[in-house]
Structure 1
């Protein structure tokens, strides 16, 4: 999110409604054997080291812009029932860098609150379309610079390569750029489960990630990459939501809805279907976002002014509604 561009919603239905032969017919004929060091992909699902399924039921928190709120935010998010949190970090290219000490502290706070921690670098948002956005190569530089904080945390941390790393006009580079970033992190010794956001500001309305996810997963030497779609105005009907999710489940490819909301100026997101269909398919979701949004995104706050006792209507829906976090979240077995 953060100055999210969800354009062309009215013209992309054909991409979202049509089945993807490349995915639906794909067969992994050479399954790889992974010596699991923590969270990892197995048979198209994210599982823990002991093989137990892990399904994200959590929210996003904007640590990079509201670091002073993080300690209380994580404890409140856990108390409201979440099993995970996606934490916004900065490589220093667009906002103040979250250095190795800070990353180590965030991970420690996530573990203290028994939350699986997805760490994402936000400076890549809308690369190629958003002024100042940086490439996945720069994001890889950042992850390598803080690897000392990440090593040994494979049971508790997922590394999200870069937030919404391509805009709407450079989707053809998504697969190659993602593969290159994965290769660099693996060469640097990072064995974590990785998360790759789709292009088109995360919404993948072009179907680029949907068509090329298999090749990206197969290019990962550890075969340990999860794919993340962000669902806002593009996903304004049940059919669009269902068809996108089912393309991945049919192909046995690991998917999470890494961001979604209840409404966006570009369209009225079908959050009820997102929550119902992810629950039926055991797909993870992470709502955007705890608090601190501004401008056109201010309505996406889950709590008013970071106050867990004052949830917004969106917060009430996500935490306490049907197929919501309180009803469906299961704590990671590593904490039990």
Structure 2
């Protein structure tokens, strides 16, 4: 998707509206002057702006200007098969020690603990980012974003060590390095693994009529580490499907009208009903029309203390992709010190190039 959009923008043939990830990814277009700010449109229609929940525009705004309209919110969670857990008298783990105990029980009886793969590096990174945040909290990564920190921070190194420990414990399927997102999703939906750590975009599939586990799937917060400082109510996520209007759009009023359609109460209700996605507006939802799994997740989010962005979204495409590749390398056996040391050098090189 992005290579094609980027090529169209470079050729001055961009669509009037396109979807972008927030933060670093969106900022590349903003810095290039390719995106139309929405402040004027919101000022002309204050009622439209008031529909949105607090904080929705935080990660699509730069220097006081709003450059995109999110249409939904995604968060990462621990999905688990209640039937498998009940069979072994287990509860979803709330700490890393409990997670290892659960893994041991499953492995000893031939049950795959996690549907997990590293063929798509971004999918594997979702799990790792939660581990890193639970160990060190949000500050180490925030310092990376602000360029006051280092990838050799203990939370990243220990996070890599934890992932290698999980590999050694048998937490992941045989051949997980060659398994992509679609394969792991199907594995979990077919009842072939007990747990699945993924974004809430999977709710629509996991909880659909076609899912083999739709009646037995539950959702939980990702566990904390006993010696970590991360909070169990800190959620990894992002504003999603952020609609942006290109600066070259011929009819910006028509483009704004299209954005308003996506934020209309009825459209937000349909999105929540069909996909289980979290809404960005204050539209009232009928619980009887929603996926039960989506309702369960929404209830957990009522205690959310903070949301930290998916790392590749926050970092932007160049450094974000390299972070994901680093995670893939660690899972393949490279020492965390070497892998993150290489990432640190890569970041320094990118930053140096940006100065010239």
TM-score normalized by the length of structure 2: 0.30
More helix by share: 2
Higher relative contact order (CA 8 A, sep 6+): 2
TM-score normalized by the length of structure 1: 0.31
More strand by share: 1
Larger radius of gyration, structure 1 or 2? 2
